[in-house]
Structure 1
Amino acid sequence: MKILAYGLNYAPELTGIGKYSSELCEWLAGRGHTVAMVTAQPYYPTWKVADGYNNRSYQHEIRNQVSVHHCPLYLPGNLPAGKRGRILSHASFAASSIPKILSSAYSLKPDVLLAVTPSFLIAPTAFAVAQLSGAASWLHIQDFELDAAFELGMLEGSALRRTAMSMESFILRRFDRVSTISPRMIERLHDKGASPKNSIEFRNWVDTDFISPADRMTELREQLGLTDRHIVALYSGSIAAKQGIETLAEAAAELKDKAPEIVFVFCGGGALLNHLVELSSTLSNVKFLDLQPNERMQELLATADIHLIPQRAQVADLMLPSKLAPILASGRPAVAMAKAGTQLATEIEGAGIAVSPSDPRGLSEAILKLARDSAMRARMGERGRVLACERWRKETILGAFEKQLGELVALRRSHD
């Protein structure tokens, strides 16, 4: 198959959607398919263009057999980026990528055009280009960014919300296939008008051979000056508004004197990193790490005794944290901020503790409970590993997706 992918985020970004989009494209290319990607200059989660890339121009590279076209985009000069800055950033990519997605479709003549959102602003262009080129159209939704933007106050107004949701629903119904990453999000797709027969769950994944339980006494632990008596509570990933990351600083403050053996390690970058550093400036039980390269991911995850998954209540079931699958595969328990019955709480059942996002004390109590019960940590970690192998295995998930792509292309050809 010839596959043209289209999305805001891609490698060398280390976290979130970029990680999964690049792994998907590279896996498909490794299977013998011809794959091209139209994306932005790499910037996430720091909101700064990565070294070696030029945001003033278009750039092309061959990356692990994938032909990658990078397009410029507007990046706000000050962080955290406000709602205006984020909207302009997404809109600038949607505009700058139009000539590149058109030229790529003309030269590749794809069998399928796969668009990944966020940003939803590219969806109309993706559908139009698929129609013009005769390709099957597939829209993959990593999170419901419009719903999240209104819930978090980034967009406001009932009239604007009705208009945006109406347009979203109109576009969703036009694609040949629409997929998203969890059962609750599939239900939301149906509520938005997507046809059940054209809606597919395509969850994120983890390479369970690469990420597996390992010795907690890592070089990173030594680098941080920590010994085997310390209990590491690790947050790794984007430090942004969706996470409610400030609650982790509150938990660290709560436990600083009560349980000095617990050390909070925050690894990542993002719009709210400086804010988190400021909140933690007086806390001796907090340490920071830069984002780690993929080759050190197993070591990073093994350094933790407890993984932390913060999430604001407003975005529950609008997304599912991309860090979840690697955490489960690492054989360590998680403490997640998620109400009972949400997808996140359901996914970690038996493999961690879910606490209400509105209960900061519950968060610190859950961390303390796990820190002082090594048998519970071991039991939950083992359960998480089983879940990762059963539900999140990379080869199983991507193999099923490849099959569905082939079936869609065959169906499209039969109708031509």
Structure 2
Amino acid sequence: MKILVVGLNYSPELTGIGKYTGEMTEWFATQGHEVRVVTAPPYYPQWVVQKPYKSYVYKMELINGVVVYRCPIFVPKNITTLTRLIHLISFALSSFPLLLRQLFWRPDIVINPVPSLFSSPMCALVSRLCGAKSILHIQDYEIDAMFGLGMANEGFVGKFARVFERLVLRSFDRVSTISRSMMNKARQKSVDEDKLIFFPNWSDTSFFKGAVCSEELRNSLAVPAGNKMILYSGNVGDKQGLEQVVDAAEYFKDKPYYFVIVGDGSGKEKLKSLVLERGLQNISFSPLLALEQLPTLLASADCHLVIQKKGVADAVLPSKLTNIMAVGGNSVITAEADTELGLLCKNYAGIAELVEPEDVAALVLGIEKALNLSSPNDIASAYALEHIDKDKVLRSFEATLEGLTSSVDVV
């Protein structure tokens, strides 16, 4: 198959959507498929275009068998609703010429991971012009996330956004998404049942097999000897609400518990200032580590934090959790009971500790409980092997694509 992927984020970004899109395309290339990607230069989660991409406008490169086209994008220093919109629109506009060039290549499948929905109408158009099947892959319900974070309201702009989203959903041949609750949300948005594809995020479980705690790594992260290491690793942004991690660290300041925040993002400096203001000595920050260090990092933590604000958990399934489960880590998850994460904890008792979002007292209690669980967490690692193993997930999706390209839709 000829597969064209059009998305805002891509490898070498180490977290979030870019990580999964990169792994997916490279896996398809190893299976003998021709794969092309139209994307932006890597900028996430630092929100700064990474070297050496700063010196290019448009760029084509070959990465592990995948032809990658990079297009220019506006990356705001100060992230507001307006600058975020300009950021998304800039990708839609700059990627359009590259999309038109792919008409001559004539892909069989066009996959559009979102965000950003602003590029989706053009993806749907190009797929129709070249006779390809189109898939909108929803990693994040952008509109719902905007409402959940208070970036939009139900006024004229909000209504326009809802209508735009509905039109985009209807313009693709299929709609895939990463969780059962997100599939239910697609149904609520009037997506037909026969158009839905379940395509969960995965973990390369073989990559994490045999990972063990490293005292050397813990020392490099400033964890005092004999302390319990409580880890948050991932994007340090607004939707996580990581101020409550600082609150928890303050509560435990007289106990041998040490908090480590590994990652980058728009909220990192604010958190650092908060820690400095409170004079806390039991919390430190680190940039993202190299990918090959990730298994050891996760295996070295006594407790993992999967933190989100209220109203966000059902719209976004955190990618960091898949790797935590693969390594058999004990997690504290902040999510409402009726969300995907809440149902996961209910259906697989012992897989993690579920606590109410934005409730510091509940978070503190959850950390205490997680630290008392046996390690490694066999329930979590067994779930990862059975349900989110990378090879299993991608082989299933590949079979779906092959069935889609060989079928003829009846009008």
What is the TM-score normalised by the length of structure 1?
0.94
Residue of structure 2 equivalent to 1:48: 48
Deviates more, 1:226-235 or 1:273-282: 226-235
What's the offset of the Cα at 1:133?
Answer: 1.1
Q: Does the CA contact (< 8 Å) of 1:240 and 1:270 recur in 2? A: yes
1:230-289 deviations in Å (ceiling 9; x for gaps): 1111000001111111111111111112x2x11100000000010111112221110111
Does the CA-based 8 Å contact 1:74-1:92 persist in structure 2? yes
The corresponding residue for 1:63 is 63
Matches of 1:245 and 1:132 in 2, distance apart? 45
Aligned to 1:393: 389
Report matched runs for 1:94-109 at 5 Å: 94-103=92-101, 105-109=102-106
User: In the aligned structure 1, how far is the partner of 2:55 from the partner of 2:86?
Assistant: 15
Moved more, 388-397 or 161-170: 161-170
Q: Which residue of 2 aligns with 1:405?
A: 401
Given the superposition, is the C-alpha separation of residues 159 and 225 from structure 1 closer, same or farther in structure 2, using an over 3 Å criterion? closer
* Equivalent residue letter for 1:47: W
What is the match of residue 169 of structure 1?
A: 166
Instruction: Specify the SS of the correspondent of 1:280.
Output: helix
> What SS does the aligned partner of 1:377 have?
coil
Is the 2:224–2:258 Cα contact (8 Å) retained in structure 1? no
State the match for 2:126 in structure 1: 129
The CA deviation at 1:28 is 0.2
Is the CA contact (8 Å cut-off) linking 1:264 and 1:286 kept in structure 2? yes
Q: Which amino acid aligns with 1:298?
A: P
TM-fit CA distance, 1:156: 2.8
| Contact kept? 1:212, 1:331, Cα under 8 Å | no
SS at match of 1:238: coil
CA RMSD in angstroms, aligned pairs only: 1.6
Once the two structures are aligned, what percentage of the paired residues are identical? Answer: 40
Query: Which aligned segments of 4 or more residues in structure 1 are displaced greater than 4 angstroms?
Result: none
Deviation at 1:93, TM superposition (A): 0.5
User: CA separation in 2, counterparts of 1:351 and 1:157?
Assistant: 37
Q: CA deviation at 1:213?
A: 5.1
Q: Counterpart amino acid of 2:18?
A: G
Q: Which residue of 1 aligns with 2:258?
A: 263
Hey, what does 2:351 align to over in structure 1?
351
Q: Distance in 1 between matches of 2:56 and 2:240?
A: 31
Give 1:224 shift: 2.5
Q: Give the counterpart letter for 1:270 in structure 2.
A: G
Match status 1:312 vs 2:329: no
The answer to whether the 8 A contact 1:218-1:302 is kept is no
Equivalent residue of 2:311, what SS? helix
Q: Summarize the Cα distance change of 1:312–1:225 in structure 2 as closer, same or farther, 3 Å threshold.
A: closer
Show the 5 A alignment for 1:202-213.
202-212=199-209
Q: Would the aligned equivalents of 2:6 and 2:110 in 1 still touch at CA under 8 Å?
A: yes
Tell me the residue number matched to 2:81.
83
Residue in structure 2 matched with residue 276 of structure 1 by the alignment: 271
Q: Call closer, same or farther: CA 1:407–1:206 in 2, change over 3 Å.
A: same
Q: Which runs of 5+ in 2 are unaligned?
A: none
- TM-superposed deviation, 1:155: 2.0
- Give the aligned partner of residue 226 of structure 2: 229
2:144 is aligned with 1:147: yes
Distance 1:361 1:288, change over 3 A: same
Tell me the number of residue pairs that the alignment of Structure 1 and Structure 2 aligns. 406
SS of the residue 1:210 aligns to:
helix
User: 1:329 aligned to 2:326?
Assistant: yes
* Residue pair 2:236, 2:263 contacting (<8 A) in 1 also: yes
2:183 is aligned with 1:156: no
- Amino acid of the structure 1 residue aligned with 2:360: P
Residue type matched to 2:41 in 1? Q
2:289 alignment partner, one of 282, 292, 312: 292
Distance apart, 1:5 and its partner CA: 0.4
CA contact (8 A) 2:221 2:260 kept: no
Q: Give the residue type in structure 1 aligned to 2:383.
A: L
- Contact 2:121/2:171 (<8 A) preserved: no
- Listed as ranges, the gaps of 5+ residues in structure 1 are none
Correspondent of 1:338 among 335, 338, 344: 335
What do the CA deviations read for 1:201-248 (whole angstroms, capped 9, x no partner)? Answer: 100000111013532234311212435521111000001111111111
